[in-house]
Amino acid sequence: MVKLIRIRNPWGQVEWTGAWSDNSMEWRHISDEDRERLSHRSEDGEFWMSFSDFLRHYSRLEICNLTPDALSDDSISKWALSKFDGTWRRGSTAGGCRNFPNSFWTNPQFLIRLDEEDDDPDDGEAGCSLVVGLIQKNRRRMRKLGEDMHTVGFAIYEVPDEVRPPADFLPLTSCL
């Protein structure tokens, strides 16, 4: 039995080309049913390799998509997942970075309220954990059509309870 590991390069430019890579000879010995169960597809950026090859070729691993279940510590708190969809559209919601204060405010905005302390109650500090992920959906597919990844980012601001947002703030935001 071979132990396999599935890896995804989020930029999709380089893939493993050895054993168990897309279209390698090893897949010919695997039934269609098992390939389907393993979600084996030849999509740009995602690939399989044997665990032994992984250990031989990689000395460092970075996790770039943390989900609440990956961070759970039931003794302290439970994670809640919230998803906000936004889009940058030229001329309306693509305000650029903070270097452009006249248009930056038109970017998608999301108001998040963190009400419950979730860290160690005995350490004398109040704290609430937040994990933010910014994802460009379907960009690998668009690259095949000649488009590059967009330069994107986000800014997080604390809004004290005593500060009232301007009247036009809520129509531009999603709230939680």
Block residue for tokens 């059509």: 145
Please determine, for residue 172, whether its predicted confidence score (pLDDT) is greater than 80. no
Please determine, for residue 104, whether its predicted confidence score (pLDDT) is greater than 50. yes
Tell me the pTM.
0.49
User: Do 50 and 3 form a contact (C-beta atoms < 8 A)?
Assistant: yes
pLDDT in the model for residue 74? 53
Nearest to 44 by CA among 173, 144, 150: 144
Nearest to 142 by CA among 14, 11, 16: 11
Which CATH number is 4-57 given? 3.90.70.10
Average pLDDT (119-148) is 77
Average pLDDT (90-105) is 87
Classify burial at 48, counting beta carbons within 10 Å of its beta carbon; exposed 0-12, middle 13-18, buried 19 or more: buried
pLDDT in the model for residue 169? 59
What are the residue ranges spanned by the domains of the chain? 4-57, 75-175
**Which CATH topology does 75-175 take?**
Jelly Rolls (2.60.120)
pLDDT in the model for residue 4? 92
Share of the chain above pLDDT 90, in %: 9
pLDDT in the model for residue 167? 63
Buried residues in 150-176 as b, exposed as e (16+ CB within 10 A):
eeeeeeeeeeeeeeeeeeeeeebbeee
Which residues are identified as catalytic? 9
Please determine, for residue 64, whether its predicted confidence score (pLDDT) is greater than 80. no
Average pLDDT (65-88) is 65
